[in-house]
Structure formats: C-alpha cells, structure tokens
Amino acid sequence: MRFPEFSGEWEKNNLSKFSSKITKKNKGNVIQNVLCNSANLGIIPQNDYFDRDIANADNTDSYYIIEQGDFVYNPRKSTAAPYGPVNIYNGEKPGIISPLYLCFSVLNISPSFLFYRFKSSVWHPYVYSHGDTGVRFDRVSIKDDVFFDMPIYTPTQNEQEKIATLLSLIDERIATQNKIIKKYESLIKGIMVELQKQGLKKGTWKKVFLNDILTERNERNSNLYQVFSVSVSQGIINQVDHLGRSFSAKDTSKYNVVHYGDLVYTKSPTGSFPYGIVKQSLNRERVAVSPLYGVYVPNSLAIGVYLHKYFMSEINTHNYLHPLIQKGAKNTINITNQRFLENRVPMPLDSNELLLISKLLRSVNDKIRHEQNMLQEYQKQKQYLLRQMFI
C-alpha cells in the first residue's frame, strides 16, 4: 500500500547505515533518571512503570546514557512485542537505561519512519532466522552486530515523512480518544462527590461498615479458570492482555475465584493508590485472581456498582484504607481480608436511591465502553496500516 503520488523501488540497506550504537555509560552515577523500555508505554521512567526504582541508584555505572531521539531495543518478549519492543526516547533530559538493552542513535533517515517500521512486524522474520530465540523463553538472544545487519528498505525522504505523518495522526486520534474516556471517568467522580456531599448534608445518607454489605468469597480455583489481574484503568482484566505475559504460578488451584459483580481488593501499591485498589468484576465468566487479593460478594449488584465507582477516587481509597493499614518491612502492606471490611463508606439510606444512582453510573459506564470500542477500532486501523505500508 502506497500513496498514489509515489512510485519506484525502495532502496535496500542495512540498519548499520542509518544507526550508531550508543556505548557511553553512566560512570560515576552522574545521571539518576533511570528508564525502562515498555512494549505498551514506550521509554518511560522506571518508577512510573514499576511504582519503584528496580535499579540500585548507587550503582548504575554500567547503564547507558541516552538522549532525546535515541532508540532502544529491549529483547524481552511479550504478547505486545513478541520479538521485543524498539522505541524512541522522547524525554527532554538525558536518562540511563539497563545494559541489557541495545541503544542506538540514527541519522540519514526519518526517525519517525524508523520508529513506525519497528512498530510493524516486517523485521520479525529477520530476528527469528538470525537470533537464537530458543535460548530463553522470555528473551530474544541476538548479537549486536547481527541486529545492525538487519535489512532496511527505505523510500524517498518525502515518502518516509508522509508515512510517518499519517501514522502519527492516527496516534494523535488514539490519544484524543483516551482523553475522551478520561473525561467521562472524571464526570463519574464528580457525580459521586456531589451526591455524597448533598446526601450527608440532607441526612439522606449515612456511613455504613463494609462488613454489613460485603461478604468475603472463599472459593478456590479448583476448575482452573483463567488468571486475571487488577488494573487502575481497565479493572479486572486478563493478565496476559494487561501485562504482556503471565506472572501466575504453575499451579493456580489455590487462587481465588471471582464471579460477575464481585469486588476485588489488591494489597499492592499502584501509582497514586499507595494502599492498593478496589474494582468490581464485569466479566460474565468466572475468573481467578492471586490468593493475595481479597474477593467480596456485595449484598446487591447496585452496591457493587456504587463501591466500584466510590473507590475510583484516590482520595476515597486513601481515606478508607489508611486507618486500617499497617506498613511492614520494605513498605509492604499488612491487612487481612476481614480487616479490609472494618471501615465505613457513605451511602444512601433509601435502597431505591442507591438503585437509581447505580443505573446512572452504569449508563455513563456504557458510554465509556462505547468510546473504548471506538478506541479499539482506531487501534485496529493503525495495525492494518503498519502491516501494509512497510516492506
């Protein structure tokens, strides 16, 4: 697939013609901006991805120094990047990145064109045939010089720029769609704050202990349901879809089972939720989650919907969990599944009001799902173009 105004054969070269390996290291630990290369998020601060620095900040002498416009190849395999992601660093200040990665700068080629080429799968057959992909199940083993011998087909500079511009416009539309979704999520939070404020003021709401409206589900995964994770943005989602690979144990029979409508509480700090997150399962099929998670059955679906939205707020979640939590060694969270139920949340006294609120919240949530479906269509369009526009 090409733009109609362009014709002629693409020129074949090796990646080495357009790139130079980065070998400068962080001797003396002069830079503390530790980065990682994620298939889904790109090159970002390590703390943003793991919620903490994995690297020892006092010993990063061997880490490579990269600057804006540099490329990084992470040979770790994942569902999103089966041969490892290649991303471009867009940060304004220099950063350092693990010596397990291959870093290179580029010249005489459109960086954006090369970036999108690596987002396509056109380079996968080369790595498959020249790399020792069977040495480790989670990592591609390919020598640096072999990687730089990779063939690169390039059109004229003008065509490179036009291809990159088209794909970047789709990326911008995807980013806009994500903003629309976040706006609706903010609307839900605003509705919750105002309803709670007015209800408590009028005396039509009261604070209710969760152990009066939730019951722990103690069901083990004897049927070996699929393992799901809990995400701040995506709720209870398939672990492989969310994280790119499975992190579950070989034997998941001791995992907890989650039914449709159940609430799940994680006990791990995540971003702006330092005491964990609470989400309702909207999966029609039963799933399994880590035995470290608490799983609870609400007295009604409306209660579950309300609590799911209530705990979307970082402030609500912090205020509810803070009095219950004891921090252990290495900042671990100590709280039992029953202890989680021993605080109160504001709720309507009238069950009919609660039902109406849950219907409103579900209506807005349906709109969010519609926008999420549109987002998926844009993502599919992008993947189609990535398959068709590179050779």
Query: What is the per-residue pLDDT across 254-299, written as a single tens digit (0 to 9) for each?
Result: 999 999 999 999 988 887 898 999 999 999 999 999 999 999 999 9
State how far the alpha carbon of 96 is from the alpha carbons of 43, 45, 113, 141, 337, in Å: 11, 9, 24, 22, 40
Give the CA radius of gyration of the chain. 25
pLDDT of residue 50: 64
Looking at residue 60, its amino acid is: T
Tokens at residue 175, please?
């980013």
Contact at 8 Å (CB) between 288 and 221? yes
CATH class name, domain 209-348: alpha beta
Query: What gap in Å lies between CA 240 and CA 278, rounded to an integer?
Result: 20
Chain position carrying tokens 């971003």: 271
pLDDT of 355 over the 80 cut = yes
Q: Give the confidence band of 242 by pLDDT, cuts at 50, 70, 90.
A: low
pLDDT of residue 136: 62
Strand (E) or helix (H) holding 352:
helix 351-388
Residue 254 in 3-state DSSP?
coil
Hey, CA dihedral for 281, 286, 292, 298, is it positive or negative? positive
Strands (E), 274-343: 278-280, 287-289, 294-298, 326-327, 333-334
Domain with CATH 3.90.220.20 in the chain: 11-154
Query: What gap in Å lies between CA 269 and CA 254, rounded to an integer?
Result: 23
Nearest-5° Cα angle at 278, 275 to 284 = 155
Output phi, psi for 33, to 5 deg. Answer: -80, 85
Residue 183 in 3-state DSSP?
helix
Query: What gap in Å lies between CA 353 and CA 347, rounded to an integer?
Result: 10
| pLDDT tens column, 317-327 | 999 999 998 76
Domain with CATH 1.10.287.1120 in the chain: 155-204+350-391
Q: Give the confidence band of 133 by pLDDT, cuts at 50, 70, 90.
A: low
155-204+350-391 — its CATH code? 1.10.287.1120
State the alpha helices, DSSP H only, in 203-253. Answer: 239-243
pLDDT of 57 over the 70 cut = no
pTM: 0.72
pLDDT of residue 330: 60
Fold of 11-154: Adenine-n6-DNA-methyltransferase TaqI; Chain A, domain 2 (3.90.220)
